[in-house]
Amino acid sequence: MKRLKILIVDDEPITRLDLKEMLEENGYEVVGEGKNGNEAIEKARTLQPDLIIMDVKMPEMNGVKAASVIRGFSDCAVLLLTAYSYRELIEDAKKASINAYLVKPVKERELLPAIEIAFSQREQLQTLNEKVKKMEQKMEDRKKIEKAKGILMKEWNCSEEQAYRQMRQKSMSNQMSLIKLAEQIIERS
């Protein structure tokens, strides 16, 4: 199993130290620490962690705002820590696509499952995003094939089935993918 790279961001040095010890004792790699939202953003860019454990209330920029910015360039999981459990804060965290939320003081028996769940959600989201990209590519390819068929139907005054059959035959005889052939037909028209 891959060793998770974790960034800890909290304005309290003792909290960062406690978290780092808990994490390293349990086999996680702490790749960096920060004390505010701006440092979280900067370190997330440079260190590319798998997970950020971040306090909500910090100077300069809070954890929810920092997480929103980080979501713009990273798909790392984010676990928020706070001494507060206000409903409004929970709603803000959901809008920022936070993966997990723990109320301080953090106990190891709560932290470790939250990390695993947050990371699992991250992996599921990555898998889903990859599937969406593949489906989008298939749709684009299909559109090109349909366009090429339309061009051949006009040029040869033939049916859709005949145009497609001709494309398939040419694709196989030239050992070329159907999409490459479609792109050539579109390009020359």
- Do 19 and 91 share a domain, yes or no? yes
Closest CA to 81 of 60, 61, 107: 107
Q: Residue 63: its pLDDT value, please?
A: 94
Split into its structural domains, the chain has a count of 2
- Do 54 and 93 share a domain, yes or no? yes
Q: Residue 74: its pLDDT value, please?
A: 93
Work out the pLDDT band at 54, boundaries 50, 70, 90.
very high
- Do 83 and 153 share a domain, yes or no? no
- Rounded Cα gap, residues 11 and 59, in angstroms: 7
- Do 10 and 94 share a domain, yes or no? yes
- Rounded Cα gap, residues 147 and 83, in angstroms: 58
In a domain, 126, yes or no: no
Q: Residue 82: its pLDDT value, please?
A: 85
- Do 88 and 147 share a domain, yes or no? no
- Do 137 and 97 share a domain, yes or no? no
Give tens-digit pLDDT for 72-127: 999 899 999 988 767 777 777 777 878 888 888 899 999 999 999 998 888 888 89
In a domain, 127, yes or no: no
Q: Mean pLDDT in the chain? A: 92
In a domain, 112, yes or no: no
Give 124: exposed, middle or buried? Use CB within 10 Å, 0-12, 13-18, 19+: exposed
In a domain, 116, yes or no: no
Q: Which percentage of the chain shows pLDDT scores above 70?
A: 98
Work out the pLDDT band at 12, boundaries 50, 70, 90.
very high
State yes or no: pLDDT of 38 exceeds 60. yes
In a domain, 113, yes or no: no
Contacts of 108 (CB under 8 A, 6+ apart): 22, 26
Q: Which helix (H) or strand (E) holds 118?
A: helix 108-156
> Are 47 and 20 within 8 A, CB to CB?
no
Q: Residue 2: its pLDDT value, please?
A: 63
- Do 139 and 99 share a domain, yes or no? no
Here the CATH number for the domain that contains residue 167 is 1.10.10.10
Q: Residue 121: its pLDDT value, please?
A: 87
Which three-class secondary structure string do you get for 90-111? Answer: HHHHHHCCCCEEEECCCCHHHH
In a domain, 122, yes or no: no
- Determine the structural domain holding residue 167 and report its residue range: 132-188
Here the CATH number for the domain that contains residue 62 is 3.40.50.2300
